[in-house]
Chains A and B, each alone.
Chain A
Amino acid sequence: MTMVDANVLTDVTEFLWKEADILDRKDYDTWLDLWTDDGLYIMPIGDGEDYADQLNLCYDNAKMRKDRVGRFKAGFSISSAPPARTVRTISRIVVEEMSGDLIKVRAAEHLVEDKFGRQRVWAGDAYYTLKRSGGGFLLHQKIVKLLNSDGMLNSFSYLF
């Protein structure tokens, strides 16, 4: 493992926490702006990594992200009107690789949702490829692998 500048870890952590906060607040327009145009948001099923050719929970390019957010916001989707409320933490952040303007990071994501007076708990590994832009970062790839992605899930009215 390469030595990572403490400042990089601090900057990355701040960015991931900002994104987590945006998602818990469901400030989706702001979230859309965190992305590169050709970025991919993927939640796979199981351990396969051939995402384009395998069935995932979602495999979102810019258009799908925009449509997904539109669906959440338009008020016609009964599962997201209202959606479950969420509280998440991102932790155990590891900067894995830095090359050029790309930084690969992985982290633990732990999320609790609440709806109809019942709470559900989800945990997963999140893998990010961040791209330096201006003084900060953009999301270029984000892959969230739920611990039980190939098990019985529930439907999600929010993003991980």
Chain B
Amino acid sequence: MTAAMPKFSDLDALYSNEEAKVATEMYEDPDLFQEEMEKIFKNTWVWVAHESEFPDKGSFKLSNVGLDPVIVVRDRKGVIHCMVNRCRHRAATVCEVKKGKTSSFQCPYHGWGYGLDGSLRALPYPEQYGDDFDKAQHGLLKLRTESYNGMVFATFKEDIEPLVDFLGPKVCKYIDLFMKQGGGFPVKVLGEHQFTVPMNWKVQLENTTDAYHFPVVHKSFLQSLDEATEDMFDFLDKGRGWVEDLGNGHSVMMMIPEREDLDSGLDEPIEDRFQELAEEIRAEGYSEDQVKKIVKAVGGAGFNLNLFPNVSFSLAFFRVLTPVSVDQTDIRHIAIGMDGGPQAANRMRIRLHEHFQGPMGFGSPDDAEVWERVQRGTKGGGQLPILVNRGMVDEEPGDLGPRGHISAETGMRAAYGMWKRMMVGA
């Protein structure tokens, strides 16, 4: 299969690490897209769920690993399984409920029944398969599944390194920092916005650590904020932040350094925009220390953490991409809050999420528009490269990879470097 694809033998022409130039085919070639689905999405850890989305024994949700529809489920012992949503008889999907609770999955076509762990339990009239039919060989196709701090990842690659090694210590550190948005409570998914965009998946992959676009694309969002908040988002002018390559294609964009660790600066006075909320939380009976911690957490983290290939932790929400075709990508913006935390706090988090995110947000529609414009633009001038070389001039070495200016395209270079290593198949 690989050898029969000489078309992509010249990966340097598609992406050059030295020049940081991306070829137009990277967004436009359907054969390359198919190759990516095999070499990347079938060969690495892919985010599939947050544990709070299916909290109980027997609860499940549907998800995707690349193009493969999967079911993520907790069995009776609470163990998490991920398997392809395809009956082993003649391929019908065994589940079309997006989220729910069940004791088994039964195929609607001829009634093969599968356990929560994907094993084939029973089938009608098995005699016709003969005595040596082995049920153990006919369970749902399973993926290896591991979690880190509530985030569930799955992979088709059986012998891949453990998830924590793939993430690495710095990514794990940033995930832990991000999850401090629970404000002392476990982080819980509160809902999601979903929209599909006519763009290649890598256009989205590039965006989460792209500070350069923020004041331009999100000007109308910034204009709808109070002065103090607008000032907080002015990270480009202030230029105190940075973007850092964290290895394996991951990167972090630190926009608001004082919000890197939400447990710090808790002795400072509560910001004006959160005064009313603080009152409400006090009224719910929380101590002043808790009020400060919760209010700080409601404001979100100060960074975007982008994980290769499909999930990012963006200030206050999770952003997930699912490739559909070479020029279509599904996006989910998942709202998170405090499991068991004050209602007023979760309500405010939801309102803040609605303000920027989703099909009617003040931010997402403008992102979607420029992403689509990239895809429309690459229809022409096929010989021209896409430049991701911004900020190479003054990058400095970080712990695991280079660290650049807040508006540097360091994160994109990290992702494309990993893309290339995986496409080589090393």
Within the assembled complex, what's the spacing in Å between the Cα atoms of A116 and B370? 13
Within the assembled complex, what's the spacing in Å between the Cα atoms of A88 and B279? 44
Most buried by B among A71, A78, A80, A150: A78
- Kindly identify, within residues 25 to 62 of chain A, every residue whose CB is under 8 Å from any CB belonging to chain B: 43, 45, 52-59
- Given known A76-B223, A116-B376, contact A156–B190 (CB-CB < 8 A): no
Within the assembled complex, what's the spacing in Å between the Cα atoms of A59 and B360? 10
Q: B224, A57: Cβ atoms under 8 Å?
A: no
CB closest chain-A residue, reference B219: A76
Q: B354, A55: Cβ atoms under 8 Å?
A: yes
Return the contact of B354 from the options A59, A116, A156 (Cβ within 8 A): A59
Within the assembled complex, what's the spacing in Å between the Cα atoms of A57 and B192? 9
Residues on the B chain within 8 Å of A135, using CB: none
CB distance from B262 to the nearest CB of A (A): 22
Within the assembled complex, what's the spacing in Å between the Cα atoms of A151 and B194? 7
Q: How many residues of B contact A (CB 8 A)?
A: 38
CB distance from A46 to the nearest CB of B (A): 8
Residues on the B chain within 8 Å of A45, using CB: 191-193
- Given known A53-B350, A55-B193, A79-B365, contact A155–B359 (CB-CB < 8 A): yes
Return the contact of A155 from the options B347, B350, B368 (Cβ within 8 A): B368
CB distance from A8 to the nearest CB of B (A): 31
Residue B364 lies at the interface, judged by CB distance under 8 Å to chain A:
yes
Residue B52 lies at the interface, judged by CB distance under 8 Å to chain A:
no
Residues on the A chain within 8 Å of B219, using CB: 76-77
Residue A91 lies at the interface, judged by CB distance under 8 Å to chain B:
no
Within the assembled complex, what's the spacing in Å between the Cα atoms of A52 and B346? 10
Most buried by B among A68, A76, A157: A76
Q: B350, A54: Cβ atoms under 8 Å?
A: yes
Q: B366, A153: Cβ atoms under 8 Å?
A: no
- Contact flags B211-247 to A (C-beta < 8 A → 1, else 0): 0000001011101100000000000000000000000
Return the contact of A55 from the options B98, B353, B362 (Cβ within 8 A): B353
Q: A57, B220: Cβ atoms under 8 Å?
A: no
Q: A55, B368: Cβ atoms under 8 Å?
A: no
Within the assembled complex, what's the spacing in Å between the Cα atoms of A77 and B194? 20
- Kindly identify, within residues 58 to 89 of chain A, every residue whose CB is under 8 Å from any CB belonging to chain B: 58-59, 64, 67-68, 70-71, 74, 76-80
Q: B191, A152: Cβ atoms under 8 Å?
A: no
Q: How many residues of A contact B (CB 8 A)?
A: 30
Within the assembled complex, what's the spacing in Å between the Cα atoms of A82 and B222? 19
Residue B109 lies at the interface, judged by CB distance under 8 Å to chain A:
no
Interface of A is mostly: mixed
Q: B343, A53: Cβ atoms under 8 Å?
A: yes
Within the assembled complex, what's the spacing in Å between the Cα atoms of A53 and B347? 6
CB distance from A48 to the nearest CB of B (A): 9
Residue A2 lies at the interface, judged by CB distance under 8 Å to chain B:
no
Residues on the B chain within 8 Å of A156, using CB: 359-360, 365
Residue A154 lies at the interface, judged by CB distance under 8 Å to chain B:
yes
Residue B330 lies at the interface, judged by CB distance under 8 Å to chain A:
yes
CB distance from B62 to the nearest CB of A (A): 12
Q: A57, B362: Cβ atoms under 8 Å?
A: no
Q: A57, B350: Cβ atoms under 8 Å?
A: no
CB distance from A84 to the nearest CB of B (A): 10
- Contact flags A109-123 to B (C-beta < 8 A → 1, else 0): 000000010000000
Residues on the A chain within 8 Å of B224, using CB: 67, 70-71
Within the assembled complex, what's the spacing in Å between the Cα atoms of A45 and B358? 11
Residue B76 lies at the interface, judged by CB distance under 8 Å to chain A:
no
CB closest chain-B residue, reference A55: B191
Return the contact of B366 from the options A52, A74, A78 (Cβ within 8 A): A78
CB distance from B347 to the nearest CB of A (A): 6
Q: B362, A67: Cβ atoms under 8 Å?
A: yes
Return the contact of B223 from the options A43, A74, A79, A151 (Cβ within 8 A): A74
Residues on the A chain within 8 Å of B194, using CB: 150-153
Residue B12 lies at the interface, judged by CB distance under 8 Å to chain A:
no
CB closest chain-A residue, reference B337: A55
Q: A78, B370: Cβ atoms under 8 Å?
A: yes
CB closest chain-B residue, reference A52: B347
Residue B351 lies at the interface, judged by CB distance under 8 Å to chain A:
yes
Interface residues in chain A, defined as those with a beta carbon under 8 Å from any beta carbon in chain B? 43, 45, 52-59, 64, 67-68, 70-71, 74, 76-80, 116, 150-157
8 examples of A-B residue contacts, CB within 8 angstroms: A43-B360, A54-B350, A55-B335, A57-B358, A71-B362, A79-B368, A152-B330, A154-B196
Q: A78-B370, A154-B195, A154-B196 are in contact. List 13 more A-B contacts (CB 8 A).
A: A53-B350, A57-B360, A59-B350, A74-B223, A76-B223, A77-B219, A77-B220, A77-B366, A152-B195, A152-B196, A153-B359, A155-B195, A156-B360
